[in-house]
Structures are given as structure tokens and as C-alpha cells.
């Protein structure tokens, strides 16, 4: 007599309420086996929400079960059905490639060959929206003297491809202003521009959609106008002359005070200085340059600076000096927004061969800043200013 050993796997379908249930057991050899009854829970409450261009989030609920089920999320357009994601723990699915159209979503819970399917979600429509510009805002105050300004452009969704060719400037009173760069990514981009020279206004505009697309190839609507800057560049606003000696001639004790529209970068005035704080030097010189038959002029130097980038003064007459140039010692004081120069005596040696003369009636003088003189914001000096007061 022989004993036969066998491996037996048995599955029995049951019904537990309205859900499919299964009894199963596996036994090897002879003897008794224990069956286990469990059910695959049916997913419920399938909700779909649009989270972006071509993206949707699906959420659902599933009753607890002793079975290690896996949920499959399916998208159907009524003709075809695709599985968009699977989950064994979380009840969230982000469908990131939804074409335009109307769909329903369902969730299938699986364990081995057994499954339970949810009721389909409500109809969900994915609209292929065109990206729009939500804001086109200045990055600096409306009134500025900056050499470079910027705007932040915010789109309604992520876009690719903006370049300087997509933008243009509208200006009044400015020369040489130009778009210099476009940087960023996603839905936020920064447009920068050089303000050029002059005083006026500047507005950036999105004028072309060429090359700008969202994830499904849609371009934005154009044109779109950004906020406007009032450009107030760096320039002298006042030039005061105080006669401290003889009238109608340049002499010891005379002084000049030049005021600028904004803070001076003292490093651009004198490379040996720092930008912050006031600076003063008693070893400056002022040279009266003989213009011949043209107007005489003044130039400035400072012993501690290889190059003093202040500017020049045109005197409006050719009678201040004759026979060559004449040099005076001077004290130069620079504050945040002004430069003051007080003339001292003419030194005996190295003061130039020119003879200081008098003019019948001292005309106004004109100060022209050195173009390499700049504001603390980096704007180069422009413009001229006519004096108040006379030598």
C-alpha cells in the first residue's frame, strides 16, 4: 500500500454583500488545509481636477482590505481606454499627458486575477488654453537713473523660447536704449534693457510670439505692453560760481559748486577713493586754458588721482588768460551728490606761462561732466549745466 502526496491549490468564488469575495488555500502533502476568505474592495468617489495645461489630478477612496491590492487609474474618451498610473498605497494620480478632449476616469483595484472597478468619474474636459501674460511689471521704482532696467513677465503657464527678438522698446527722449537680455524659465521671465542716454520714458512690449510656446505648442497672444519707466539719468543739475576775489577775473578765493541729479560714484571720479563717504583734498589744481580766439576753459587735476574724471568748464570768453595756460592750487571736496572747488594761489613754479586777465563783464560758464563719471547706480554722466553766479 502506498500513500500519495499531492499539492493542491483551490479557489472558490463566494459572494460577500455586493462585492466579489474569494476563498483560497494552498496545501502540500496529505492532511487538512485552511481556507481564507477576503474581498477586493471596490474603489469609490473618483474625482478629477485640472492642475495645469494637459495635466489632471485623480483622487479616489478605497475601503481597507487584508489583500495587498494595486489600483490602476484609467482614462477613457468613450472610444479607447488607457491606464495612466498605478498605485499600491496613495490614492492620488497625476495624469500629465492629457490631450484636449472630454474624458471619464475609473479606478480598478486588483489582487492576482481578481479585480473590482469603480463607477466612472463625472465627465472631465481638458481645454487647450493659450498662454497669456498675467503681468509685465517693473523690477525697480518707476522713476530711476539706472543704466540697466528690468521687467518680470509672468505667463499663465510654463512657456519655452522667449528671446530678445520677441520684445521691443517704446521710448521718448532717450537715445541708444535697447533690449539686452531675456532670462528665466517656466512661467516667469526677466527682460533687461539698457536705458541709453537722455531723459525720458521707456516701456517694454511683447511684440512677437515667434518661438514662444506652451507644452502643447500654443503661442501667447500679442502684443502685450509692460509698465513704463521714467528714466532720470545721471547729470549735473546746478553749477554755482562764487566770486571770492576780484570781479570779472579768475582769482584766489573763487569757488565752484557742482551738484548732480543723484549719488556720485566717487570711484569713477577718482580711482583712489571709495564710493561711500565724503572726500576732500587740498592738492587739487585748476588750470585756466588759453583758448586763443575761442573761449577759454578750465580743467581739473588731483595729485592723488592719476586721472580725475570730473569734467571741464567752458568760460564763455577768451579774455581770462593770455599767452598760455595758468594754474591755481585748489581744494576739492566731494560729497554724495556734489563737488566743490575753491581756488588757492598760483604757485610760483609750474603755474603756467599765461597771464590772468579781466573781462569786461564776466559771462556765464558751462560745465560738461566727464562721460566716464558715473552715478552709484552705474549711469554715465550726461548733459551740461550753465552757471549761476560769475567770476
* Percent over 90 (pLDDT), the chain: 52
Contact 260, 240 (CB under 8 A): no
Residue positions counted in the chain: 391
Which grid coordinates are listed for 268?
569713477
Q: Are 67 and 111 in contact (CB under 8 A)?
A: yes
* Grid coordinates given for 285: 589744481
- Spell out the residues 6+ positions from residue 274 whose beta carbon is closer than 8 angstroms to its own: 266, 267
Residue 34 is predicted with a pLDDT of 58
pTM of the shown model: 0.50
From 126-130, 222-226, 250-254, 257-261, the region with the lowest mean pLDDT: 126-130
Give the H/E segment covering residue 266.
helix 266-269
Same fold, 44-126 and 133-231: yes
Calculate the average pLDDT of the chain.
86
Which residues contact residue 98 at a Cβ distance below 8 angstroms, ignoring those fewer than 6 apart?
A: 54, 55, 56, 75, 126
Give me the residue label for grid cell 494620480: 93
194 Cβ neighbours under 8 A, 6+ residues apart? 147, 148, 176, 177, 178, 180
> Cα separation of 171 and 230, whole Å?
10
Query: How is domain 133-231 classified at the CATH fold level?
Result: Immunoglobulin-like (2.60.40)
**What is the mean pLDDT of the segment spanning 194-216?**
91
The third-level CATH classification (topology) of the domain covering 44-126 is Immunoglobulin-like (2.60.40)
d(CA 181, CA 172): 21
* pLDDT bucket at 352, cuts 50 / 70 / 90: low
Q: CA quadruple 321, 325, 330, 332: dihedral positive or negative?
A: positive
User: Where do the structural domains in the chain lie, given as residue ranges?
Assistant: 7-39, 44-126, 133-231, 236-386
As a whole-number percent, the residues of the chain with pLDDT over 70 amount to: 89
More confident residue, 150 or 376: 150
Alpha carbon distance 123, 185 (integer Å): 33
Express each pLDDT in 254-297 by its tens digit.
Answer: 999 999 988 899 999 998 888 777 888 878 899 999 988 889 99
Q: What is the pLDDT of residues 106-124, one digit of tens each?
A: 999 999 888 999 999 999 9
C-alpha cell belonging to residue 50: 485640472
Amino acid at each position: 500500500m502506498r500513500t500519495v502526496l499531492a499539492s493542491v491549490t483551490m479557489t472558490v468564488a463566494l459572494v460577500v454583500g455586493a462585492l466579489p469575495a474569494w476563498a483560497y488555500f494552498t496545501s502540500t502533502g496529505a492532511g487538512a488545509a485552511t481556507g481564507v476568505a477576503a474581498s477586493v474592495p471596490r474603489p469609490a468617489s473618483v474625482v478629477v481636477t485640472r492642475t495645469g495645461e494637459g495635466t489632471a489630478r485623480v483622487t479616489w477612496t478605497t475601503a481597507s482590505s487584508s489583500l495587498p491590492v494595486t489600483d490602476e487609474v484609467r482614462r477613457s474618451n468613450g472610444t479607447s481606454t488607457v491606464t495612466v498610473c498605478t498605485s499600491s498605497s496613495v490614492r492620488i494620480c497625476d495624469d500629465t499627458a492629457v490631450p484636449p478632449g472630454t474624458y471619464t476616469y475609473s479606478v480598478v483595484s486588483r489582487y492576482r486575477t481578481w479585480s473590482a472597478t469603480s463607477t466612472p468619474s463625472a465627465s472631465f474636459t481638458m481645454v487647450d488654453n493659450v498662454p497669456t501674460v498675467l503681468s509685465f511689471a517693473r523690477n525697480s521704482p518707476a522713476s530711476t537713473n539706472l543704466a540697466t532696467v528690468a521687467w518680470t513677465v509672468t505667463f499663465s503657464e510654463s512657456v519655452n523660447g522667449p528671446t530678445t527678438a520677441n520684445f521691443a522698446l517704446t521710448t521718448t527722449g532717450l537715445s541708444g536704449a535697447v533690449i539686452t537680455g531675456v532670462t528665466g524659465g517656466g512661467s516667469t521671465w526677466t527682460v533687461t534693457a539698457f536705458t541709453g542716454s537722455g531723459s525720458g520714458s521707456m516701456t517694454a512690449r511683447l511684440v512677437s510670439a515667434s518661438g514662444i510656446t506652451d507644452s502643447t505648442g500654443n503661442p501667447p497672444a500679442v502684443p502685450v505692453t509692460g509698465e513704463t519707466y521714467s528714466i532720470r539719468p545721471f547729470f549735473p543739475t546746478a553749477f554755482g560760481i562764487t566770486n571770492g576775489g576780484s570781479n570779472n577775473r579768475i582769482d584766489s578765493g573763487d569757488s565752484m559748486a557742482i551738484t548732480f541729479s543723484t549719488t556720485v560714484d566717487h570711484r569713477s571720479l577718482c580711482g583712489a577713493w571709495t564710493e561711500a563717504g565724503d572726500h576732500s583734498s587740498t592738492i587739487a589744481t585748476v588750470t585756466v586754458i588759453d583758448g586763443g580766439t575761442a573761449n577759454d576753459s578750465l580743467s581739473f587735476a588731483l595729485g592723488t588721482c592719476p586721472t580725475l574724471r570730473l569734467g571741464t568748464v567752458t568760460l564763455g570768453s577768451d579774455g581770462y588768460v593770455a599767452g598760455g595756460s595758468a594754474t591755481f592750487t585748489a581744494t576739492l571736496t566731494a560729497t554724495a551728490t556734489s563737488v566743490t572747488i575753491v581756488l588757492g594761489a598760483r604757485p610760483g613754479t609750474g603755474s603756467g606761462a599765461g597771464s590772468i586777465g579781466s573781462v569786461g563783464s564776466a559771462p556765464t560758464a558751462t560745465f560738461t561732466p566727464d562721460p566716464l563719471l558715473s552715478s552709484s547706480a552705474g549711469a554715465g554722466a550726461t548733459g551740461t549745466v550753465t552757471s549761476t553766479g560769475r567770476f
